Amino acid sequence: MSVIFAILFYLATLVFVVGLLSRISLYARTPAPLKIPTTPAPTTKTGVVFRLTREVVFFESLFKANLWTWAMGWLFHASMALVVLRHLRYFTDPVWGWVAFIQPFGIYAGITMLLGLCGLWVRRLFVERIRYISTPSDHLWLVLLIVIAISGLLMQFVSHTDVIAVKSYFLGLLNFNIGTLPADGLLMLHLFLVFALLALFPLSKLLHAPGVFFSPTRNQTDNPREQRHLSAWGSKMESEN
Amino acid sequence: MADITAPAYRTIPIIPALKPGAMEGKGPYIANEKHQEALGFPGQVPDDWHDKAIAKMGELLSKFRSLRVYMDACVHCGACSDKCHYFIGTQDPKNMPVARQDLMRSVYRRYFTFAGKYFPWLVGARDLTREVLDEWYNYYHQCSECRRCSVFCPYGIDTAEITMAAREILASVGLGQKYSNEIIAKVHKIGNNLGLPEPALVDTLEGLEEDVKEETGLDIKFPVDVKGAEVLLITPSADFFAEPHIDGLIGYAKVFHATGTSWTLSSMASEGANFGMFIGNYEQLRKVALRIREAALELGVKRIIVGECGHAWRVAYSFWNTLSGVGDGADETDRFAQMLQKQLDHRYKQPTHICEFTWDLIQRDALKFDKSKNDKHIITMHDSCNVARGSRMGDLPGGQFEIPRNIIKAVANNFVEMDPNTTHERTFCCGGGGGLLTDDLMDLRVKGALPRMEVLQQAVDEHGVNYMAAICAICKTQFSKIMPVYGFDRRMVGGVHQLVSNAIILGDK
């Protein structure tokens, strides 16, 4: 079992990294031939950095759109960020100071993450418009994340797993040594679903994470009159006539 | 018109219930062979339309980062789902921006993604069948490319980009839209959307000079093809004769007259509108824009000023520099753009919006107004969608909202705002933009205007508003046609420069 999970770990990480990088490079290589920032838009590069930061950290546009979706979505994402960072303690020895510092917050963030996810699912199930646009995969993603959160919380608060053994297993994997993973059902469920999430990330709507940085309506500077903006294929038309 | 009645008003804010299938149908008239082929599109749906359409989609995915990213990034969060005026007005769930995008995204997933190829049921992927293609034609012609959804999307997904791509794919397999394609062909052949040839244009403008002389007693000129003029005015051709547009044109001419600016229109480029954007075709967009470049080079003008027109200003402001070199900042080695940019006077923004021009003069005290001439009006401002969300005026973000309002306040005493959730970047489209201003879509146009009419009614009830200013030829045409359906006077809509024209004091300087 330890070997199977080791293979899954390496495989999922590989698919995640390679898949994501290839997708990002595809986005970066695809030209944006016209200036299409949604205005009013920043007129300087610094302004664009601020706009994207507000978008990524505070979900500014979603805030304008719908307070409930924003509250649930932001709660889920912010909590998950804390939870993920907290998990760095299982991959570092000695544990970095700031990771140790956020540990207590990270644990409770598991609960708020679950709350946010449930809120989002309730909305998807019961708001007519959102139910109409939902595909089976939209529901399954929420289920997957909810089960990951619940299994993690159960290990934390109800049925403790041997975290010391888990940590030495993962530290081993980082050095390509396959140790022994505790034979704990909850732990295996938790890990299996996280590996599934990693592997499916670059194939799914989770690409919204890198996508937002490449969105021309958000990342372009509003200076079309001051600076000529021309794509390679657009400029080819000029040499043709 | 007789059989079309206004839907009932509701309580604001409005989140309508779904009425699936409410707007099913065939969509607007399909372009005939002649109009398709004039633009280089096939005249008929070819036998291998399926493969051609998928190949076209692949080509667009590789040429437009917007489409590439937007096909992947949507998470179905629903932020946009209640933002489209066509959805609010028709309640058809396929008019929710996300659902409109999904008409194409479902096909994208089937042919271009792992999940859609092997697990189509899981991610809502589907084959491109003839039924799907016809559904595209219908619903992608119920989007006015107004970008309201893109304001609210957490990833900035702009349905306009997807609508444009869909229309481009449709046209490439013989399913172009009659209204837009016919008009673009006229621009190529004659120089404007109306097909008004040079002699008729000159005649119209001479008649206008006489009318204005009668009204003011002054020789206010409407010059055409004057070589060496300082300013080339590019304005939507509706300004030449449609009501209330023409009152705006008179306004521009009075401003030029008052300041002794030498200006000219061009018979070759007698059109500000660029329907190439509506059909989503870069080549057509560029080709229409190049007429203006040609006219500017030929007439040797120093400045290019654009009249009141929404998408025309978006194209001029955002795309002209790219497409035709009208702008600044081209590379030294960029001969194509430098040829024109060396000729233009860069003390001014190129191109300049007529509102920027007039506001600059007002700030410099170069114009005098009798504001009481507009006292009969209680004015509000309908921000035109493409100006609001696809362009700017002045130096600061949001100038496209401030400058027209500043002008109105400088020439009139009574100005009030409508519900702030429906102005500035949150403004509604008039319901006729994006190539939908055609009689065969009248039902859609009336329903699409409902959200604006509901809010206008609120402003009428609260403030007694009797003049809604807009800086777009499509807004003006659309509103003067559909406002009577809602029980408003058609003359309630008018331009900003119509108000300038009312109040400006002309005399010997």
Residue B3 scores a pLDDT above 90: no
Tokens at A236, concatenated: 């080819």
Give the distance from residue B412's alpha carbon to the nearest chain A alpha carbon, in angstroms.
26
| Separation CA A223–CA A37 (nearest Å) | 10
Cβ-nearest to B93 among A64, A132, A135: A132
| Chain A residues with beta carbon closer than 8 angstroms to that of B79 | 61-62, 65-66, 69
**Minimum CA–CA partner of B158 in chain A:** A217
Q: Is the pLDDT of residue B2 over 70?
A: no
- Chain A hits for B102, CB-CB cut-off 8 Å, are 133
Residue type at B131? Answer: E
SS3 B304: strand
Peptide bond into A40 cis (omega under 30): yes
pLDDT for position B509: 45
Give SS3 for B467.
strand
Q: Is the dihedral of CA B233, B239, B240, B245 positive or negative?
A: negative
Min distance A225 CA to chain B CA atoms (Å): 5
Give residue B191's pLDDT band: very low, low, confident or very high (50, 70, 90).
Answer: confident
Q: Who among A43, A135, A211 is closest to B397 (CB)? A: A43
Q: Tell me whether residues B76 and A133 touch, CB distance under 8 A.
A: yes
- Chain B residues with beta carbon closer than 8 angstroms to that of A214: 65, 69
Count of Cβ atoms closer than 10 Å to residue A17 Cβ: 13
Contact B122 A136 (CB under 8 A): yes
B78 vs A43, A130, A136: nearest CB:
A130
Give SS3 for B224.
strand
B35 CB contacts (<8 Å, ≥6 apart)? B176, B178, B181, B182, B185
Nearest to B87 by CA among B16, B144, B28: B16
3-state SS, residue B476: helix
pLDDT at B266 > cutoff 70: yes
Residue B364 has pLDDT above 60, yes or no: yes
Contacts of A218 in chain B (CB under 8 A): 155-156
Q: What average pLDDT does range B226-241 have in this prediction?
A: 96
pLDDT in tens, B34-56: 999 999 999 999 999 999 999 99
**pLDDT given for residue A1 in this prediction:** 86
Contact yes or no for B349 and A225 at CB 8 A = yes
With CB atoms and an 8 Å threshold, state whether A62 touches B400.
no
Contact B57, B165 (CB under 8 A): yes
The pLDDT confidence band at residue B6, using thresholds 50, 70 and 90, is confident
B301: its two tokens: 């003008």
The CATH architecture assigned to A2-223 reads Up-down Bundle (1.20)
Among A residues 157-176, those touching chain B with beta carbons less than 8 Å apart: none
Q: Sort residue A136 into left (φ over 0), alpha (ψ -120 to 50) or beta.
A: alpha
Would you say B422 and A37 are in contact if contact means Cβ atoms under 8 Å apart? Answer: no
Which residue of B72, B286, B334 is in closest CB contact with A207?
A: B72
Whether A214 has its CB under 8 Å from any CB of chain B: the answer is yes
DSSP state of B30: B
Cα(B57)–Cα(B63) distance, rounded to whole angstroms?
10
Write down the mean pLDDT value for chain B: 96
Q: What's the CA gap between B403 and B362, in Å, rounded? A: 11
Domain boundaries, chain B: 33-176, 189-356, 367-503
Res B13: pLDDT = 73
Q: Is the peptide bond before B351 cis (omega within 30 degrees of 0)?
A: yes
> Do residue B392 and residue A40 have CB atoms under 8 angstroms apart?
yes
Residue A205 at interface with chain B, using a CB cutoff of 8 Å: yes
Judge whether A32 is closer than 8 Å to chain B, CB to CB.
yes
Predicted confidence at residue B338, as pLDDT, reads 95
Alpha carbon of A170: minimum distance to chain B alpha carbons (Å): 30
- Cβ of B224: how many Cβ atoms within 10 Å? 16
Two structure tokens written together for B463: 């403030």
Question: Does residue B508 have a pLDDT over 70?
Answer: no
Nearest beta carbon to residue A30 from set B68, B78, B322: B68
Q: How far apart are CA B346 and CA B330, in angstroms?
A: 12
Q: What is the pTM of this model?
A: 0.96
Considering CB atoms only, which of A62, A135, A230 is closest to B154?
A62
Residues in chain B with CB shorter than 8 Å from the CB of A55 are: 154, 156
Question: What average pLDDT score do residues A46-64 get?
Answer: 98
Distance from CA of A53 to the nearest CA of B (A): 12
Q: Residue B189 has which token pair?
A: 């052949």
Residue A241, pLDDT > 80, answer no
Top residue of A228, A238, A240, A241 to mutate, by most chain B CBs within 10 Å, is: A228
CA B351 from chain centre, in angstroms, equals 17
**Is residue B131 exposed (0-12), middle (13-18) or buried (19+ Cβ within 10 Å)?**
exposed
CB A169 within 8 A of CB A180: yes
pLDDT digits (tens, 9 = 90+) for A108-129: 999 999 999 999 999 999 999 9
Nearest residue on chain A to B155, alpha-carbon basis: A212
Structure tokens at B433: 């933009």
Cα distance between residue B385 and residue B375, in whole Å: 27
**A2 inside 8 A of chain B by CB:** no
- Our CA angle for B39, B40, B42, nearest 5°, is 115
Distance from CA of B19 to the nearest CA of A (A): 11
Measure B32 CA to nearest chain A CA, in Å.
28
Q: How confident is the model at residue B373 (pLDDT cuts 50, 70, 90)?
A: very high
> What region, left, alpha or beta, does residue B434 occupy, with left being phi > 0 and alpha being psi -120 to 50 degrees?
left
B507 — pLDDT class (breaks 50, 70, 90):
confident
Work out the minimum CA distance from B114 to partner chain A, whole angstroms: 7
Contact A65 B121 (CB under 8 A): no
Q: Which DSSP state fits A196?
A: H
Mean pLDDT of all residues in A194-203: 97
User: Among the residues of A30-162, which ranges form H helices?
Assistant: 45-53, 60-65, 67-86, 97-126, 128-133, 136-157
**CA gap B43, A19 in Å, rounded:** 42
Q: B413-426 b/e with 16+ CB inside 10 Å = b? A: ebbeebeeebbbbb
pLDDT tens digits, residue range B8-29? Answer: 888 777 788 999 999 999 999 9
Report the residue of chain A nearest B277, measured CA to CA. Answer: A34
B93-133 per-position pLDDT tens digit = 999 999 999 999 999 999 999 999 999 999 999 999 999 99
> Would you list the domain boundaries of chain A?
2-223
Verify whether the Cβ–Cβ distance A233 to B63 is below 8 Å.
Answer: yes
Is the pLDDT at B5 greater than 90? The verdict is no
> Looking up tokens 């999940």, which residue turns up?
B115
Give B3 to chain A, closest Cα distance, Å: 30
* pLDDT reported for residue B204: 95
- Taking only the tens place, the pLDDT of each residue in B383-401 is 999 999 999 999 999 999 9
End-to-end CA distance of chain B: 49
Is any Cβ of chain B less than 8 angstroms from the Cβ of A89?
Answer: no
**In angstroms, rounded to a whole number, what is the distance separating the alpha carbons of residues B425 and B402?**
12
* CATH placement of domain B33-176: 1.10.1060
Look at residues A143, A120, A138 and name the one whose alpha carbon lies nearest to residue B122.
A138
